[in-house]
Structure 1
Amino acid sequence: MAVLATHATSTVAALLGPKGPLAKQIPGFAPRLSQQKMAEAVATALAENRMLVVEAGTGTGKTYAYLVPALLAGARVIISTGTRHLQDQLYQLDLPVVRRALAVSARIALLKGRSNYLCRYRLQTIEESGRLATREQVADLRRVRAWARRTRYGDIAELAEVSETSALWPRVTSTVDNCLGQDCPQFSDCFLAKARREASAADVLIINHHLFCADMALRETGFAELLPGAEIVILDEAHQLPEIASHFFGKSLSGYQLSELARDTVVEQLRDAADFVDLRRRAEALDPAVAMLREALGLGDRRVLWREVAGRSSIREAVERTTDALERLREALKEAAPRGKGLESCYRRSEDLAARLALLTGMEEQPDSVRWLETRGRGFGLSLTPLDIAHTFRARLGTQPSAWVFTSATLAVGDAFTHFAARLGLDDYDALRLDSPFDFVGNTLLYHPTGLPDPASPQYTAALLEAVLPVLFASRGRAFLLFTSHRALQEAAGWLVGRMDYPLLIQGQAPKAALLREFRALGNAVLLGTASFWEGVDVRGEALSCVVIDRLPFAAPGDPVLQARIESLRRQGDDPFVSYQLPQAVIALKQGAGRLIRDVTDRGVLVLGDPRVISKSYGRVFLDSLPPMPRTRDLQRVEAFFGQ
């Protein structure tokens, strides 16, 4: 690994300086030395076709720092983000501003995964079949139908009147499994095909990590040519890449996919093979088999290793019944396939699902990977996840002779990028770590409550809340309480009721975006959240003045993928805690702590309850990875901070 010199040379730094075009174009633009340093590092990597890893602390302005040199490079650029929200922000706000400021004429395109686009064919089939389960779905269908007549892009995010969690969306969007491709009778009007055509002609293409990894892993027809043509690839929010890539380099199968095959087969049978009654009977026989398998997997929501349940007679019986029902359906679909493109697609899907079911439920273990299952509500999923994607990911990068930039606010553990780079197989890369330009010494305080029991104690959450309640009074609400488990969140929600007068918002009561809007509008609320609120949440100003983190965010020890990784590392002679669990927890803590200070004028207190951060030797690793925040164990100092 080469470590870049951080002095800013003239050209790109000047563009981001006080007299540069961005300062003239953007009201209130504040030049930042760290932003200029990053821009120069990116410009060097692009010019020399190098790989660059950059941690840019909150407030660096990393988006402009990579957009300016990327647009000036005169090359084809792919920018991949961790979330659709940032994807939209880049496309609608940031890129147009920088393009105008630099007076460049680069063509910009936005491409999302296929499930984000309305499928006209599937909308037509659901209208013809009339098979909807609830009145809510019927009402949503009416709204989608009206929107379909006026939309230009077919991006389902346009239709705010239909919840993003509506059960209708999977019925009117396509998947890799059920898309008919160029055989679709609606292909000439396909929104996804249009988006891909625009993407192929763009100079700057904005995608997300799921799409990026899907392309690497699957090489979907029509999208496989996007990455080979790119001379520059920038991956923002890159800390999410290892987990997303692990998913796409594995295999999975859900009960929903099996039921969807049965449902689609019935629709296509009515359309093109009305006389083939046995096909419909076989499709309808798959659903009770899938339901039997779900019941055999056990009640409640859980994630377990497949090997722990694979030998149970009830599960073997349910797997055999599902396998037989799927095979009978496959045989009938093979006979019916020549009658229509939809039936032909269903036949191909049945073959693929049968192969995946056999792989994921067989008795033979798969090398260098772990098989596991997840149950949630009435659904289930079976997965095979590779334990190490480093070799695969690095090999895929090697097929793209591009400049690569990986950036995020949380990539390093201490000053080192070793953990992140090892997970993706990065070896010959340049590295740059930039601290946040915000005044953490003057504007923040890190509070460790005294007298808390061990986090494993059943009394821990109540004891933490007793210690935190005076802080919430001092902060006048205006707080996030971030938990490492839903169980602790629910316990806290019950405990806080009646103990304070501030509005209490709880994850799950409403969609995430709605909760955040209400939190900002109220100005004195206390919001309780778990994983999804630890990152990608931006609340600026006084509405958020306190962040409480209940425990050091070590991954749940019972997680089946973590269990398998720990076993694998031990077999290799590594210490799994030092080489994997600790670095992962440090990066997660940095994400949670990063919710506190989002702007130069923000002030706030971070409460880190877990006593292990002080009592254990590894606590120093966590503290050294946080911004330079003054620390205290004195509640009065916290109260004085808020009283200033």
Structure 2
Amino acid sequence: MIDDFAENGLLATAIDGFVAREPQKRMANKVTEAINAQHSLVVEAGTGTGKTFAYLVPALRSDKKVIISTGSKNLQEQLYSKDLPIIKKALDYTGKISLLKGRANYLCLERMYHQYAAAGDLDKSLRTDLVRVKNWSIKTKDGDISKCTTVTEDNPIWPILTSTNDNCLGSDCEHYNDCYVVKARKRALNADIVVVNHHLFLADVVVKDTGFGELIPKANVMIFDEAHQLPDLACHYFGEQLTSRQLFDLAKEINLAYRTEVKDMSQLQQCADKLQKCTQDLRILISQQNNKGNLRYLFNQSSIKQELFYLFDALDFCKEVLLLAIGRSTTLDNCYDRVNQYQQLLKKLTETHVPGYSYWYESTYSSFLFALTPLSVTEKFEELLTQREGSWIFTSATLSVDNQLDYFTKRLGLTNAESLILESPFDYINQTILCVPRYLPSPNERGNAEKLVDILLPVIEANNGRCFFLCTSYAMMNALAEKFRLLTKLPVLVQGETSKTKLLEQFIESGNALLIATSSFWEGIDVRGDTLSCVIIDKLPFTSPDDPLMKARMEDCQMQGGDAFNEVQLPEAVITLKQGVGRLIRHHNDRGAIIICDNRLVMRPYGATFINSLPPSPRTRDVNKVIDFLLSNNEPDNLENK
């Protein structure tokens, strides 16, 4: 393995610009040991370590079946289309490699033909898109909707033409032999390396009720990149959810089957219309509440109780009618199973007294979601590791808190895993400066956006833009955008005004932009070079204690005699901050400033936990020193830690 990563090794010979890195070698050796010994390994590999190659080389060398799971579909595509081909060529690897996505990424032929049979139900633009998809379906080999050039991925036609675990007919479907999901699974079964994402992996673990439901084949080696996302995602997937979309889709399916297959049963339309109306009435009522909250409080309201009673009644009516149609249509048979499933799930959701779970809801103008989420997935994950013997490898640039991996390993029950922390090879002492400016407003002070603009505009203009301003809320993001657009001629780009991809393209093309964003821009963004040389964060990213899941986790921690702030809130905020700060230095030639606009970082005892978890940048409280650093190539060694 050392030969592969040496200065004159196989990778250096095969890959232009390859640089031998000691941390990368160490990680690759540890991954090899874990694979050979069939044990678990947790590795925090700082930015620039080269962790992707450090696990890919041992994976391809192992001659074992390997599943690699990434944090998102974009990273999954990058791994499959860019990184794996490089290593495959370098190692002269002859095994098969497969990409497997969730079923919502593949065209469902059954649903497409069903929609064609009742195309009058769609509006004109959707009918046009349906024809485009139909024309594409004749040419496509894998049915991957991202490859359809005539209809964009976010087009509303796709949810209508892709299947879910709920509505998939499985082997009863007349198009089963031509099914793109089935074909994708067969390719994965025959492959040696299969690339998936965390959402698909966890959904697949949960779905184990039927052979068709499971998409991911068994493997000897499981590798999770961006593993810091796993604990929270696992909580959601090991919980249960019911959405207005599921209920609306069920009503549409019943109606569609009546119009195309069982035309002599008008009761089908009656029960479908009743279910749609009850779901709509409940949605309208819930949209008047907070957009996120506790189900216990919601379900105690008399008006909500009344609408829930009507919804239960509508599901009962559907069940009675569908019982009469059993055997006449595979679609209606599937609908009957779903009615039973939704009834049981709704009953479970209304029994909000069961300990160990958070009961919560989310609501928008057009939808609602009811959820119960386990507060711990330790037992579930331990059970999973026991059932699927082999090597389990978890890696990310942001797993540790205060140089300890305990927070991550305890949440997933990885008590016997070997662990390793590899520091970034980047020279943060000379490449960066960290500033917590003086005279900051308190985080929730009225008019703080205006004060932040006054303090930071000179820095941003001196740097000629080239700046990410990462916010912890949409309200702050919008307030800052409004103020900056009034005061600067620099391009001000704001998340939500166009797609994430286009926003990044505009940022890079302009070369002097200020990009103001929240949530999804804190991680997974890779802008190298001079285009980005300043990252500003509006405040420490603590999750609100009013968030239902966070509140439930804190209460559960306190009930067990723990310290909710230090054991739950603080570690979550540290990992999120590390992600945000990590947007700045992506290459050994990058250089720039990190500005965190929160006095608590230097005035509260817990500030030290944040500082100790971040790269070792020189620190100052003087924004003028930040400007001097950005305008010069001088090394900031002489900056005082003021």
Class of the TM-score when normalised by the shorter of the 2 chains: over 0.9
Alpha-carbon distance in structure 2 between the residues aligned to 1:290 and 1:547: 44
Q: Among 575, 578, 582, which residue is 1:590 paired with?
A: 578
Q: Is the 8 A contact 1:177 1:349 kept in 2?
A: yes
Q: Which residue of 1 aligns with 2:138?
A: 149
Decide which of 173, 186, 191 is 1:202's aligned counterpart.
191
Q: Which of 102, 111, 114 pairs up with 2:91?
A: 102
Relative to the length of structure 1, the TM-score reads 0.96
Hey, what does 1:563 align to over in structure 2? Answer: 551
**In structure 2, C-alpha distance between the alignment counterparts of 1:138 and 1:248, rounded to whole Å:** 34
Counterpart residue type for residue 534 of structure 1: W
1:294 aligns with 2:250: no
Match of 2:507 among 497, 516, 519: 519
Q: Distance in 1 between matches of 2:128 and 2:504?
A: 26
Look up the equivalent residue of 2:205 and give its one-letter code: M
Residues 171, 212 of structure 2: 8 Å contact kept: no
**1:142 Cα shift?**
3.2
Cross-structure match for 2:401:
413
**Shift, 1:162, TM fit:** 3.0
Q: Which deviations, in whole Å up to 9, do the C-alpha atoms of 1:317-339 show, x marking residues without a partner? A: 11011111111012111211210
3-state secondary structure, aligned to 2:529:
coil
Confirm or deny that 1:383 pairs with 2:390: no
Does 1:247 find its partner at 2:236? yes
CA 319–184 in structure 1, closer or farther in 2 if over 3 Å, else same: same
Give the 3-state SS of the residue equivalent to 1:292 in structure 2.
helix
After the TM superposition, which residues 343-382 of structure 1 pair with which residues of structure 2 at under 5 Å, given as runs? 343-362=332-351, 364-382=352-370
- Measure the CA separation in 2 of the matches of 1:529 and 1:223: 40
Query: Which residue identity lines up with residue 187 of structure 2 in the other structure?
Result: E
Q: CA deviation at 1:241?
A: 0.3
Contact map agreement 1:228 1:400 (CA 8 A) in 2: no
1:508 aligns with 2:496: yes
In the alignment, which of 293, 310, 313 is matched to residue 304 of structure 1?
Answer: 293
**Structure 2 counterpart of 1:198, which letter?**
R
Q: Assess if the C-alpha contact under 8 Å between 1:480 and 1:548 holds in 2.
A: yes
> 1:620 aligned to 603, 608, 611, which one?
608
Q: Distance in 2 between matches of 1:222 and 1:408?
A: 32
- Report the counterpart of residue 165 of structure 2 in structure 1: 176
Q: Give the distance between the partners of 1:270 and 1:393, measured in 2 at CA.
A: 45
Of 582, 589, 592, 1:604 maps to: 592
Q: For 1:53-452, what aligned pairs fall within 5 Å after superposition?
A: 53-131=42-120, 134-219=123-208, 221-222=210-211, 229-299=218-288, 302-362=291-351, 364-452=352-440
Aligned mates of 1:223, 1:394 — CA distance in 2: 25
Q: Which amino acid aligns with 2:358?
A: V
Q: Percent identity?
A: 42
Matched residue SS, 2:13: helix
1:337 is aligned with what amino acid? I
Runs of 4+ in 1 over 6 A off after TM superposition: 223-228
Q: Deviations over 1:552-602 (max 9, x none)?
A: 011122111111111111111101101111001000000001111111111
How far residue 160 of structure 1 moved from its aligned partner, in angstroms, is 4.7
Determine if contact 2:117/2:260 at 8 Å carries over to the other structure: no
On the 8 A contact 2:467/2:532 being kept in 1, the answer is yes
Q: Which moved more, 1:404-413 or 1:506-515?
A: 506-515
Post-superposition CA distance 1:177-213 (Å, at most 9, x none): 0001111111111110000001011111111111111
Answer whether contact 1:333 1:344 (CA < 8 A) is retained: yes
Counterparts of 2:112 and 2:100, CA distance in 1 = 21
Report Cα offsets for 1:54-91 as digits up to 9, x if no partner.
Answer: 00111111110001011111111111111111111111
Taking the aligned partners of 1:146 and 1:224, their CA distance within structure 2 comes to 28
User: 2:156 corresponds to which letter in structure 1?
Assistant: A
Q: How many Å separate the matches in 1 of 2:601 and 2:87?
A: 42
1:469 lines up with 2:457 in the alignment: yes
SS of alignment partner, residue 327 of structure 2: helix
State how far apart, in whole Å, the 2-side matches of 1:642 and 1:177 are: 54
1:455-508 CA-partner distances (Å, limit 9, x unpaired): 121232222222111111111011111111111111111111221111111111
User: 2:609 & 2:90 partners in 1: Cα distance?
Assistant: 42
CA distance in 2, matches of 1:35, 1:147: 44
Aligned-pair distance for 1:300? 6.3
Say whether the 8 Å CA contact 2:381–2:412 is kept in structure 1: yes
Separation in 1, partners of 2:214, 2:2: 34
CA RMSD of aligned residues (A): 1.5
Q: CA deviation at 1:361?
A: 2.5
Deviation at 1:127, TM superposition (A): 1.9
Bigger shift: residues 441-450 or 230-239: 441-450
Secondary structure at the residue paired with 1:558? coil
Counterpart secondary structure, 2:594 = strand
CA distance in 2, matches of 1:120, 1:59: 44
Any idea what SS the aligned residue of 2:468 has? strand
- Asked whether the equivalents of residues 301 and 376 of structure 1 are also in contact (C-alpha less than 8 Å), the reply is no
Q: Is the 8 A contact 1:79 1:234 kept in 2?
A: yes
Q: C-alpha separation between the residues in 2 aligned to 1:229 and 1:396?
A: 12
Report the residue type matching 2:535 in the other structure: V
Whether contact under 8 Å (2:287, 2:365) holds in the other structure is no
Name the CA shift for 1:107/1:472 in 2 (closer, same or farther; >3 Å): same
Structure 1 residue 38: Cα displacement = 0.6
Q: Output the amino acid matched with 1:478.
A: R
Letter of the 1:347 partner, please give it.
Y
Query: CA shift at 1:297, angstroms?
Result: 1.6
Q: Distance in 2 between matches of 1:106 and 1:475?
A: 49
CA distance in 2, matches of 1:225, 1:380: 27
Equivalent residues of 1:305, 1:372 under 8 A apart: yes
Query: Could you tell me how far apart the structure 2 residues matched to 1:604 and 1:158 are?
Result: 38
For residues 511 and 128 of structure 2, what CA distance do their matches in structure 1 show?
34
Counterpart for residue 28 of structure 2: 39
In the aligned structure 2, how far is the partner of 1:312 from the partner of 1:76?
53
Alignment partner of 2:486: what SS? Answer: coil
**Contact residue 284 and residue 365 of structure 2 kept, 8 A:** no
Structure 2: unaligned runs, 5 residues or longer: 633-642
Distance in structure 2 (CA, Å) of the matches to 1:127 and 1:116: 20
2:12 aligned with 1:19: no
Deviation (angstroms), 1:224? 7.0
> How far does residue 453 in structure 1 lie from its aligned partner after superposition?
2.1
Return the alpha-carbon distance in structure 2 between the equivalents of residues 118 and 36 of structure 1. Answer: 42
| Matching residue within 487, 497, 506 for 2:485 | 497
**TM-score if structure 2 supplies the norm length?**
0.96
For residue 352 of structure 1, what is the amino acid of its counterpart? Answer: Q
Looking at structure 2, the residues matched to 347 and 223 of structure 1 have their Cα atoms a distance apart, in angstroms, of 19
